[in-house]
Structure 1
């Protein structure tokens, strides 16, 4: 009995979930694969060639090229991971002129600090423009983290917004300070 490849809407038990963490890039051409990741100020680029039936996702922390950094930290940089993703797609049969991308992340999750999420988003859009890769959508910015699911063959993407940081973090209860006993009075020893 032959079995058709499951579609993105197939039974969740048939899906092969591949979770990406910061510094990862994955490429796949199996229709039952779904890439997942969690993002705050980081960016995930979801790029595919619809004609070749191959796609991939990356997850980067910083936009720079990592110049002057150790090799371990350069793996979290956008330039390295964008090039790694595009080259991985080309090796799997994608055609550069046919690539299309969706970008997610780039939130400003901490008030009072520089907007690294905004810088990440600008870098990712600029990279796509310089490489001639079509930007077909996604979700950038805001103040909330996201969970992303991306089916690399179909191009379907789903975003689930996380609770804002101040609501997601449990409140820490600090006990009331102990007051010092008043001077004087009786003393009892045990």
Structure 2
């Protein structure tokens, strides 16, 4: 996970990035599918940040590892603390975790479960969430206010192409 470059009051983050801001009127944006965005802020200090977690848990030789998810959350929280946030005053809202491709494992649900469990374990109240479903989401987070705007992005139906039959081979053998 890397910190998104500071680009003034408007910051867009992509997969594997996070950003923190104390700019009044600033906004952090992202677009999510099965990924999760965690928006965390300190309402007294008026600082906040967002991460964009691609895969919170991964399969390792020793089993399942939460390393990537824990790292993403700790980088975000530590970034806020560096801006003067008090860890005991933090609040969160979480978004994403859609099931974007049917028939595959539900990565979105796994990501969402990780973040919900992490916030509970760390004692950070989750004041709002929009998780699951089958649509992508566009998120706009106003870190100094803790306000979030979400817009779902309609998924276009996957085109179904008819199966074409190969013409029969003419090899002199007739099947009956």
| Fold shared per TM-score above 0.5 | yes
Q: Normalising TM by the smaller chain, what interval?
A: 0.7 to 0.9
**1:8 match:** none
Distance 1:79 1:165 in 2: 33
Question: Considering only CA atoms, is the larger Rg found in Structure 1 or Structure 2?
Answer: 1
Residues 1:94 and 2:85 aligned together:
yes
Q: State the Cα distance separating 1:165 from its structure 2 match.
A: 4.3
**2:104 match:** 113
- TM value normalised by structure 1: 0.74
**2:4 match:** none
Count of residue correspondences? 156
2:9 and 2:23 in contact (8 A); partners too: no
Aligned counterpart in structure 1 of residue 149 of structure 2, from 155, 158, 176:
158
Q: State the Cα distance separating 1:138 from its structure 2 match.
A: 2.1
Q: Deviations over 1:90-146 (max 9, x none)?
A: 111111110000000000111111111000000000110111111100211111100
Residues 1:82 and 2:70 aligned together:
no
Aligned counterpart in structure 2 of residue 26 of structure 1, from 10, 19, 23:
19
SS of 1:77's partner is helix
Instruction: Rate the CA distance shift 1:92–1:62 in 2: closer, same or farther, 3 A.
Output: same
Runs of at least 5 residues in structure 1 that lack an aligned partner in the other structure:
1-14, 69-75, 180-190
Runs of at least 5 residues in structure 2 that lack an aligned partner in the other structure:
1-7, 62-66, 168-176
Q: State the Cα distance separating 1:55 from its structure 2 match.
A: 0.2
Q: Deviations over 1:7-46 (max 9, x none)?
A: xxxxxxxx93211000111110001210000000000000
**1:62 match:** 55
Moved over 2 A (4+): 64-68, 171-174
Q: State the Cα distance separating 1:59 from its structure 2 match.
A: 0.1
Which structure is higher in strand share?
A: 2
1:144 and 1:163 in contact (8 A); partners too: yes
1:17 and 1:35 in contact (8 A); partners too: yes
